Amino acid sequence: MLTALHIQDFVLIDRADIRVGMGLTALTGETGAGKSILLDALGLAVGGRSERGAVRAGAKQGAVAATFEPGGDHLVWSLLEENALPADDDQIILRRVQGADGRSRGFVNDQPVSIALLRTIGETLLEIHGQHDGRGFLASAVHRSLLDEFGGIEKKAATVRRHWDKWRTIQRDLEERRREQDAVAREVDYLRHIVTQLEDLDPQTDEESDLAARRAALMAAEKISEDLNAATAAIDEGGIETKLSVALRNVERAGERLSAGGDVLKGAAAHLENALSEAGEASAAIARAIDEFGVDSVELEEAEERLFALRGEARKHGVAPDQLRAFLDKTRAALDDVALGEAAFHDLEKAAVEAAGVYEKAATALTKARSAAAVKLDKAVAGELAPLKLGKARFETRIDTNTDSPGPDGYDRIEFMVATNPGAPAGPLKTIASGGELSRFVLAMKAALAAKENRTVIIFDEVDAGVGGAVADAVGERLARLAKDAQVLVVTHSPQVAARANAHWRIDKKQTAKTTRTSVSELDADARIEEIARMLSGAKVTDEARAAARRLLGSPVKTARGKLAKAG
């Protein structure tokens, strides 16, 4: 409920502190006294549009604060929690400060907030209905929740939202996985090509470094072999052993011809024999060295080809040659993931189909329940129209069901429709009804929906415009009935409506030569009689008007003999 309203330097109000009670509160006053100022101030506090001229002339800024005490189960608490706003002492204070330049700031429990958030929070707490203001209740987006509340099918609606969220989550996962699958599918052939090439190559860990060392050794051995072959060639091409053999035979023949002095030739022959033997040993040693250090040219060629192949693949894939084996294993794993991904993708597809089926079943059941609730709501509203002088009007809840356009609230688009004249087609309430009719339609629906909503405060601005007598009394009766389940404030010119209020405020405008001020005061019993008498009789309040006021209020009146009697 709204418990207090503080207004400072707003339009014609310099300062007002108003305590608000439960039930029905009537706001009355002369035409032009500024009753709308009070509602404008309250609207500003809950996030309404600000106007440059809203600040009282001469003031630098104006401020409006509204204090609410919602019930513990009110949805506003979760809204505060979602936005990390304080919620102390079970009350919420919405405050708006506006400068003379038109710029304004919003606060919730003294925490600065955006005006958009202030409005969102305010809309959960307060609802205003004026002759030309269909805010909140008349918005088609709200009609669906009102119908669900009236039919007591909020749990069905919540179930649909839950299944919708699950379905959409699976769908998002599926779409993301599909994009991944599409990207991978374009690479599958390439991955398979890589795996085939690398499996044919069969790279081994550290193979490149081993091959490089082997190639270096083979190349060094090749150089050694070239030197040894050159040495062998030098021995063979020089004919050293042949020349030594010829020299030895010539020395030995010379020795045979000598009978004396042969010792010298024998020494020479011995040296030649030794040289010939050493030459043979050297040649044999070189041959053995060639056998040991000789290079198989095929092996070197194969080593070089293998090494170049490893390095070429490594460059192609941007890895070190010794990492080719790990790259092959990684590529194989990627292909395995593709297979696993395909299986998971099919599982997600199956889950999405199942979730869609569950949602469809719940949404269809909700549509059926809404259709039944709509029949009851139309009947309930119809029962309220005749006493409000709208007996020829027709109210209907239109449900447009489109299974091709599912959403979190099911398949249904819901809008309240009215036809004000017999035979006329029904149209949206806010476009078909006139100003006075609109307020009474809202009141009729409010009466039908009593105790079905969770608003803290409902305000009606001149809901009784253009009516009087029994119709005005019917308006007052319905407002009083509505106020049993919600706090209701009504701006009225009807004494029948004001008399049914639990509390009565009077708005007065006082003018001097230099200033104009609007004030708000709560009326006691006597002042209330005078105000209602003024509303009945006009400028001059008569005793007959006072007596009629007492009868409306159910107060004691004086009889012709001067005694007190119970009115009514």
- Identify the CATH number of the domain in which residue 88 sits: 3.40.50.300
Looking at the structure, do residues 529 and 509 belong to the same domain, yes or no? no
Phi, psi (rounded to 5 degrees) for 62: -120, 160
Residue 87: inside a domain: yes
Looking at the structure, do residues 490 and 513 belong to the same domain, yes or no? yes
What average pLDDT does the segment 447-460 reach? 67
pLDDT band at 559 (very low <50, low <70, confident <90, very high): very low
The CA distance from 43 to 41, in Å, is 5
Pick from 316, 338, 360: which residue ends a domain? 338
Start-end of H helices in 68-206: 76-82, 115-125, 140-151, 154-201
Q: Please indicate whether residue 177 or residue 235 has the higher confidence score (pLDDT).
A: 177
What average pLDDT does the segment 35-63 reach? 83
Q: Please report the pLDDT score of residue 203 as a whole number.
A: 80
Check pLDDT > 80 for residue 185. no
Q: How many CB atoms lie within 10 A of CB 418?
A: 25
Total tally of structural domains belonging to the chain: 3
For residues 463 and 475, is the Cβ–Cβ distance under 8 A?
Answer: yes
Looking at the structure, do residues 293 and 327 belong to the same domain, yes or no? yes
pLDDT band at 527 (very low <50, low <70, confident <90, very high): very high
Pick from 338, 367, 388: which residue ends a domain? 338
Looking at the structure, do residues 11 and 105 belong to the same domain, yes or no? yes
Check pLDDT > 60 for residue 452. no
DSSP 552: H
By residue count, the chain amounts to 568
Tell me, rounded to whole angstroms, the distance of Cα 204 from its chain centroid.
51
Residue 120: inside a domain: yes
What average pLDDT does the segment 78-99 reach? 87
Looking at the structure, do residues 69 and 215 belong to the same domain, yes or no? no
Q: Please indicate whether residue 459 or residue 111 has the higher confidence score (pLDDT).
A: 111
Check pLDDT > 60 for residue 134. no
What average pLDDT does the segment 500-528 reach? 86
Residue 312, both tokens? 């070429």
Looking at the structure, do residues 95 and 194 belong to the same domain, yes or no? no
Looking at the structure, do residues 211 and 269 belong to the same domain, yes or no? yes
CA-wise closest residue to 28 among 497, 478, 546: 497
Residue with tokens 């319905």: 478
Contacts of 566 (CB under 8 A, 6+ apart): 554, 556
Looking at the structure, do residues 564 and 504 belong to the same domain, yes or no? no
Q: Report which residue type is found at 300.
A: L
Residue 38: inside a domain: yes
Q: Mean pLDDT across the chain, nearest whole number?
A: 80
Residue 360: inside a domain: no
Q: Which domain holds residue 195?
A: 183-338
Check pLDDT > 80 for residue 456. no
Q: Please indicate whether residue 394 or residue 32 has the higher confidence score (pLDDT).
A: 394
The CA-based angle 550-459-83, given to 5 degrees, is: 145
What average pLDDT does the segment 233-244 reach? 72
Pick from 338, 354, 389: which residue ends a domain? 338
Looking at the structure, do residues 304 and 278 belong to the same domain, yes or no? yes
Looking at the structure, do residues 104 and 204 belong to the same domain, yes or no? no
Q: Please report the pLDDT score of residue 492 as a whole number.
A: 87
Looking at the structure, do residues 198 and 322 belong to the same domain, yes or no? yes
Residue 418: inside a domain: no
The CA distance from 481 to 450, in Å, is 8
Q: pLDDT tens for residues 135-166?
A: 456 667 678 888 888 888 989 999 999 999 99
pLDDT band at 244 (very low <50, low <70, confident <90, very high): confident
Check pLDDT > 60 for residue 133. no
Its sign, for the CA torsion 556, 558, 564, 567, is: negative
The CA distance from 174 to 336, in Å, is 20
Looking at the structure, do residues 99 and 219 belong to the same domain, yes or no? no
